[in-house]
């Protein structure tokens, strides 16, 4: 079905050029919508992320026209994800349990996001890099324009019919809208303790090719997998209180805390960072405010943030863009778009987010992680059931 919104007159503004925002821009441009994609950085750029692309993402890449480009970027094909308790006890989840695509893909966000952005450009999407949103202007209950500030100090206004917040956990547009008269209250965060994420690329890791390893330790967990150029991405999430114990020094956290995990100590003993550490605070998981204003919708992490240890964050970003694009194409008003999007978003992600909220307790408690890993190591059936509970129902 074609949207009743007249495409030549419709302008859709998407803020945030990560996988959710750019894939949404591509899907809408493929249907001849006029799309403006706004990004505060200039690509390619490094991004704090686990950089794990689950096999289910490949269908989306094909539909977006970037599948071959992603495979040619030099990333690592991941055939298994191995979870390690602090004692070194191990349980594995084969990638083939999710589909027969030949494994997942570990690829840097710098490479993946750049290829998506180039595809969007080729379809005529207007790209505004190095611009930040500083204000929203309303007409009655709807946003009518965003005020932008360029990195060089310049200013710009962009008018639109629909706006999309794809700024990740920062929720830049959503937070701005919630300060306005027409705010919709935030959903309550599922956890109150703030977390801090760290990420860099390492050389000289002692890691088996084709495997992503997850390590549990006091107050957090981390993931390690090869990306392109023989480097490995190491990303870990730790409670803020634990971070303060080590003065926010990533190297001290690794040496004094993460190395308490026997397997992590083995794989990272000779590792050296080749980039500066990136760090970001994480306030909570679960579903966020999907509609902070009448014609403002959230996709990706701005709409719902799932625990990184599931390896399904990238998939949810692409899926949420897919369902919002479908809602826009099939409906003629912000109200009907919102109804369709909310219903499908809950159907797709509600169960996954609930399951992960239960698993989170084990992820941040080494003793519970040890018990769970030991229980899951006795056979494939419970592991398959739990792994698939973090993925789409149709898998």
pLDDT in tens, 342-392: 999 999 999 889 888 888 888 888 888 888 888 777 778 877 777 777 787
CA dist 370 and 216 (Å) reads 9
Task: Decide if 254 is inside a domain.
Answer: no
Task: Decide if 363 is inside a domain.
Answer: yes
Residue 395 has pLDDT above 50, yes or no: no
Annotate 303-357 with DSSP letters as a single string: TEE--GGGS-HHHHHHHHHHHHHHHHHH-SSHHHHHHHHHHHHHHHHHHHHHHHH
CA dist 233 and 259 (Å) reads 17
Q: Would you put residue 230 in left (φ > 0), alpha (ψ -120 to 50) or beta?
A: left
pLDDT at 393: 66
CA dist 184 and 297 (Å) reads 12
pLDDT in tens, 203-223: 999 999 999 999 999 999 999
Domain count, the chain: 1
Q: Which two tokens mark 291?
A: 């509609």
Task: Decide if 159 is inside a domain.
Answer: yes
Task: Decide if 57 is inside a domain.
Answer: yes
Domain hosting 179: range is 7-189+284-388
pLDDT at 98: 86
Task: Decide if 345 is inside a domain.
Answer: yes
pLDDT in tens, 130-189: 999 999 999 888 999 999 999 999 999 999 999 999 999 999 999 999 887 645 554 444
Instruction: CATH number of the domain at 155, please.
Output: 3.50.50.60
How many angstroms from the chain centroid is the CA of residue 207?
Answer: 24
CA dist 152 and 129 (Å) reads 11
pLDDT-derived band at 2, boundaries 50, 70, 90: very low
Task: Decide if 22 is inside a domain.
Answer: yes
CB 43 within 8 A of CB 118: no
Task: Decide if 302 is inside a domain.
Answer: yes
Residue 77's beta-bridge partner residues?
A: 105
pLDDT in tens, 312-352: 899 999 999 999 999 999 987 899 999 999 999 999 999 88
Residue 159's beta-bridge partner residues?
A: 145
- Average pLDDT value for the chain: 90
CA dist 22 and 1 (Å) reads 22
pLDDT in tens, 7-32: 444 689 999 999 999 999 999 999 99
pLDDT at 7: 47
Q: Would you put residue 219 in left (φ > 0), alpha (ψ -120 to 50) or beta?
A: left
Residue 297 has pLDDT above 90, yes or no: yes
pLDDT in tens, 216-274: 999 999 999 999 999 999 999 999 999 999 999 999 999 999 999 999 999 999 999 99
Task: Decide if 85 is inside a domain.
Answer: yes
pLDDT in tens, 75-133: 999 999 999 999 999 999 999 988 878 899 999 999 999 999 999 999 999 999 999 99
């Amino acid at each position: 079905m074609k949207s009743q919104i007249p495409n030549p007159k419709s302008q859709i503004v998407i803020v945030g050029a990560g996988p959710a925002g750019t894939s949404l821009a591509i899907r809408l441009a493929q249907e001849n919508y006029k799309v403006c994609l706004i990004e505060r950085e200039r690509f390619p750029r490094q991004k704090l992320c686990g950089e794990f692309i689950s096999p289910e993402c490949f269908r989306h890449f094909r539909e977006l026209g970037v599948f071959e480009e992603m495979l040619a970027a030099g990333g690592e094909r991941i055939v298994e994800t191995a979870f390690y308790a602090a004692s070194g006890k191990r349980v594995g989840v084969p990638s083939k349990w999710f589909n027969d695509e030949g494994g997942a893909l570990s690829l840097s966000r710098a490479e993946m996001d750049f290829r998506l952005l180039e595809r969007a450009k080729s379809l005529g999407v207007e790209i505004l890099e190095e611009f930040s949103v500083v204000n929203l202007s309303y007409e009655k209950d709807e946003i009518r324009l965003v005020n932008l500030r360029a990195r060089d100090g310049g200013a710009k206004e962009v008018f639109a019919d629909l706006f999309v917040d794809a700024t990740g956990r920062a929720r830049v547009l959503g937070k701005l809208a919630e300060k306005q008269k027409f705010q919709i209250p935030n959903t309550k965060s599922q956890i109150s303790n703030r977390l801090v994420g760290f990420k860099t690329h390492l050389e000289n890791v002692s890691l088996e090719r084709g495997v992503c390893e997850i390590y549990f330790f006091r107050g957090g967990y981390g993931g390690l997998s090869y990306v392109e150029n023989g480097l490995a991405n190491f990303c870990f999430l730790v409670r803020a209180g634990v971070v303060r114990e080590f003065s926010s020094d990533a190297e001290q956290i690794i040496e004094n805390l993460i190395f308490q995990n026997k397997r992590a100590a083995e794989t990272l003993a000779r590792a050296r960072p080749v980039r500066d550490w990136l760090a970001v605070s994480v306030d909570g998981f679960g579903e966020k405010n999907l509609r902070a204003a009448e014609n403002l919708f959230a996709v990706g992490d701005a709409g719902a943030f799932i625990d990184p240890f599931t390896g399904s964050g990238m998939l949810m970003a692409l899926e949420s863009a897919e369902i919002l694009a479908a809602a826009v194409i099939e409906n003629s008003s912000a109200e009907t778009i919102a109804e369709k999007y909310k219903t499908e978003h809950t159907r797709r992600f509600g169960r996954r987010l609930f399951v992960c909220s239960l698993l989170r307790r084990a992820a941040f408690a080494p003793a519970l992680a040890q018990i769970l890993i030991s229980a899951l190591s006795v056979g494939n059936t419970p592991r398959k059931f739990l792994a698939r509970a973090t993925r789409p129902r149709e898998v």
